[in-house]
Homo-oligomer: A and B are copies of this chain.
Amino acid sequence: MSGESYTMKDAMLYSQRVAQLSKALWKAVEKDWQNWIKPYDLNINEHHILWISFHLKGASISDIARFGVMHVSTAFNFSKKLEERGYLTFSKRDDDKRNTYVDLTDEGNALILKMYDHYHDSNHSIIDGSLPLKELYGRFPEFLDVMAVIRNIYGEDFIEIFDRSFSNFKSSLEEHEDRLIARS
């Protein structure tokens, strides 16, 4: 058996292992996500579109498809449904006539913030399952090897959008909290 074929076997075992792990992880995430969004009559794709539009502050349909890892047609069709429900509007930009942009309406923005306020009304197995690691390390795990693999598969700009959306996410939560405190 050559060195190369040994490596091929290793590579197969490794990727099959990642397949099992990532299916189990995703199924837990999917269940948490569905439980959270159920009261708002949204499916995961619809919520993901609102999430991305909110955090990227003006995303094109192709940004949404790319960052949400969904087909462009899926991104477009569900955006259309969200537009009909009054959560977003479509627009074109003068400097970019080819792409369709999505902007949340006030109602869409309010929905996203309301959903954050009620985040912990449903159970999140991912949080519960990570608390022992948080106790051990003093922080939630960072999944750095998963991040590295995703960076290699989806490209540097995927990670940049990822980081940008989380930084916006964090500041929007802080603003929202400040407003709640000011109001009370």
Contacts and interface: CB of A to CB of B under 8 A. Distances in A.
**Residues of A in contact with B, size category:** 35 or more
Interface in A1-46: 1, 8-29, 32-33
Contacts of A132: 148, 152
A162 B25 CA distance: 13
Contacts of A146: 21-22, 25, 143, 146
A67 to B, nearest CB: 8
Given A21-B143, A132-B148, A146-B143, A32 B13 contact: no
Interface stretch (A81-89, A99-107, A116-124): A116-124
Interface of A: 1, 8-29, 32-33, 48, 68-69, 116, 119-120, 124-133, 140-143, 145-154, 158, 162, 166, 169-170, 173, 177, 181
